[in-house]
Amino acid sequence: MSLGRLESYATFSLAGGQGSAQTLHDVSSLPGSATLTQPTNKMTQITLTGGLLLQADKPSSLLKLPRPLLRRKPSSIKIKTASHPQSITTFPVRVHKEDSQINQGALSARKNFKDFARNTEFRSHSAGPYGNFFATCWPNGKTERVKLATEIIESLWLYDDVMEDVDHAGAVQVHASVRDTLTGAQKSDKKSVIANLFKDFGTRLNHMDSKGAPRVLASLKAYLDNYDSQKTPFNTIQKYTEYRILNVGYGIMDSFMQWTMGIHLNEAETDEAHNFYMSAGRVMGLTNDLYSWNVERTEAVDEGDRKWNAVPVIMQQYELSEEDASVFLRGLIVHHEQITRELGQVLLRRFNYSTTMTKYVESVSLMLGGNCFWSATCPRYNPTP
């Protein structure tokens, strides 16, 4: 590449994903660049700081882009969201190529619960017009792992349907039994029939990936430990949002996402990713509230009921109408998505775009995008009149 052509290239920064109009008149002054003494027969590489590095002769005439920008063969299908304006996510949306196989996990869970509670009316849960919820949230996960994770979480959702008519004290006892059976802390008990529906999940998780299973089981335990633990409604959206991270089950979704992808963040990586993790949890919790409110708003809610949503919290805190509170919530979700994007870029730079961290950040982005799009189109939150 000649020096004249090289000087016409503009630099760009990966930090915010936006370009810069600076022209390279003096390439050697840029961070990380080398002095151009013999421009002929050389290749260039755009560095992570926006500078240019000379490379040895290579047969290809293409610029070598940093790892995050390299295209990889996807194991999923891109979903075009433009025709669905009700979906407000700024993240990409994809669906797993083996969606039909993954959906079998949900069907297995539903069959088990229908055999157990024949008179219970179960909601439409993970089914969606463009793919199963979990096939949309974990589109690049290993098929058999996504299928098992689908069966487990679908079971938890069905379990929630069964527990709606149980008083709080009784529910806490059952939660503890399910938690201990699921994590292997309690042997199968014929008296606790509902807990027995979860008894094999821990063994099956360990069989597929013994290294990643403990993280998943720990997140399930934490979720069930705190299930229905909050009795007093929150009076500010700020406090409510922090509580919702755990209550929405984001820890479960994140741990299963890592497990399905074969990602094993070490302690240092997990600590560094904490702010990114919390921000993503805020996005998921508030997104769930935005779309579930379409159904929850028409349900009878008693003072002591265990139903929570950001819309009535915002209405009370800021004295807004229901419509204005919904608009407020939409803006809040996009705001937290932007923060999550920024923190993701910080995390990538911190670990020099390592393969593991790149896979993690990209997978979280797809999970958030999939959660929003599915919620905006699924029959669970958008029932036919």
% of the chain exceeding 90 in pLDDT: 54
> Do residues 111 and 174 share a domain?
yes
Average pLDDT over residues 202-219: 92
CA atoms within a 13 Å half-sphere pointing along the CA-CB vector of 264: 7
* 26 falls within a domain: yes
The reply to whether 36 and 97 lie within a common domain is no
pLDDT higher at 135 or 300: 135
227 CB burial (10 A radius; 0-12, 13-18, 19+): buried
Q: What is the mean pLDDT of residues 269-292?
A: 97
Is 269 part of a structural domain of the chain? Answer: yes
DSSP 3-state of 160: helix
| 171 and 138 housed in the same domain | yes
pTM of the model: 0.77
- If you average pLDDT over residues 152-173, what whole number do you get? 78
Instruction: Give the domain range for residue 205.
Output: 76-299+309-377
70-90 pLDDT, tens digit per residue, is 445 567 999 999 999 999 999
Residues 16 and 128 in one domain: no
Tell which of 65, 84, 112 closes a domain.
Answer: 65
pLDDT in tens, 93-148: 999 999 999 999 999 998 888 877 777 777 778 999 999 999 999 999 999 999 99
Backbone angles phi, psi at 46, to 5 degrees: -75, 125
With respect to residue 82, please indicate whether it lies within any of the assigned structural domains: yes
Q: 27-46: per-residue pLDDT in tens?
A: 334 444 443 344 444 333 33
| Number of domains the chain contains | 2
Give, rounded to a whole angstrom, the gap between the first and last alpha carbons of the chain: 63
Cα 245 to Cα 102: distance, rounded to the nearest angstrom: 26
Residues 32 and 165 in one domain: no
- Among the listed residues 182, 179, 239, the one whose alpha carbon sits nearest the alpha carbon of residue 206: 182
- Pair 143, 100: CB distance under 8 Å: no
Query: Do 199 and 163 belong to one domain?
Result: yes
